[in-house]
Amino acid sequence: MNMQTVRGRLFASTMMGGLALAATMSAQPAWAQDADVAIEEIVVTGSRIRRADIETSAPVAVISAQTLTDRGVVQVGDMLNQISANAPSFAVSDGTGSAAGNGQQFVNLFGLGPGRTLTLVNGRRMVTTSQSRGAEGVSGLGDRVVDTNIIPTGLIERIDVVQAGGAAVYGSDAIAGVVNFVLRDNFEGVELDAQYGISSRDDYPKQSLRGTFGKNFLDGRANLAVDLEWSKTESLLDYDRPRSNLGRVTVSNPLNKTPTDGIPAVVENLNTRFVTFNANGVISRAGPPFASQIGAVAGQPIQSNAAGTAFVP
């Protein structure tokens, strides 16, 4: 085979490849040009503060409506109390009949205070309902907060809990994080729920009823949803449990001499009562509530002598 034959074959293959490429290109359809889109305004927000160009993910806990149903949650605050990052105030959220508790429940992420966790409903700020307790434990002296008990449990689709600072977006009331309650859209139908439960020790009964109703109107352009809830939790007092009804009082241990001797600093006494009167029936003015009920002289509660025969101011 000579060089002229090789060149002839290469030239012929080149011409055939060129013709095939031309045929392929001619078979391609003509693409339509995209129509111009009119953009009214573009807003770019920036900052002159230098920072590391690092995008970090925020920890988000999502609680679905199915989770609320599976766990038999009556009040949404009970579910939020199970989040490890939430530190509710016991005196405010216990609702056990204590004089210091009022049954309200606030979200308090990382224990920074209820006023540092923002509450949203469908991404919008929820109007505050009350004030939390101040540093002295007095109600009404704290931050304006949202009582989660007013959120309709039957209309919740999910709860998004952002466990990171959101102050850059929402302000100082989101330093600890943000809780967003997402409600159902266009709910139609009827849902009924009834629950009754007791503790493992056959006490502390809790009962609840809930009815959720929804209907669309105006060809789906309007929706009306109503959620009615009722619940009652009986009080659990200290004498309702055998161990708490033993009159347990801790007193100083006289055998304990130093912090490092391995001897307990206190000992537990059972069947102990605080004495408010002596053997003669004389009431001590130091023991409440008797001091405020037996009267006073010159601003001081009256007190009988040890024999109970005369009053001593």
The per-residue pLDDT for range 57-105, each reduced to its tens digit, is: 677 889 999 999 998 888 888 888 888 888 865 544 344 444 445 677 8
Q: Return the pLDDT at 31.
A: 55
CB 204 within 8 A of CB 234: yes
DSSP string, 17-80: HHHHHHHHHHHSPPPPPPPPPP---------SS-------PPPEEEEEHHHHHHTT-SSHHHHH
pLDDT at 152 over 80: yes
What proportion of the chain, given as a percentage, has pLDDT over 70?
61
Q: Which two tokens stand for residue 201?
A: 């020790």
Least confident of 37-46, 109-118, 166-175, 180-189: 37-46
Four-residue CA torsion sign, 51, 56, 58, 59: negative
Short-list 119, 75, 117, 120, CA closest to 231: 75
Q: Return the pLDDT at 94.
A: 43
pLDDT at 237 over 90: no
What average pLDDT is seen over the chain?
74
C-alpha separations of 10 from 3, 24, 145, 190 in Å: 11, 21, 84, 80
* Confidence category of residue 312, pLDDT binned at 50, 70, 90: low
**Of the ranges 85-89, 155-159, 230-234, the best mean pLDDT one:** 155-159
Q: Return the pLDDT at 182.
A: 93
Q: Domains for the chain: give ranges and CATH numbers.
A: 60-184 (2.170.130.10), 237-273 (no CATH), 275-313 (no CATH)
pLDDT at 165 over 80: no
CB 304 within 8 A of CB 283: yes
Where do we find the tokens 């959120």? 151
Q: Return the pLDDT at 65.
A: 92
CB 206 within 8 A of CB 233: yes
pLDDT digit string (tens) for 12-59?
A: 444 444 444 444 444 455 555 566 777 777 766 555 656 555 555 677
Q: Return the pLDDT at 20.
A: 45
23 vs 256, higher pLDDT: 256
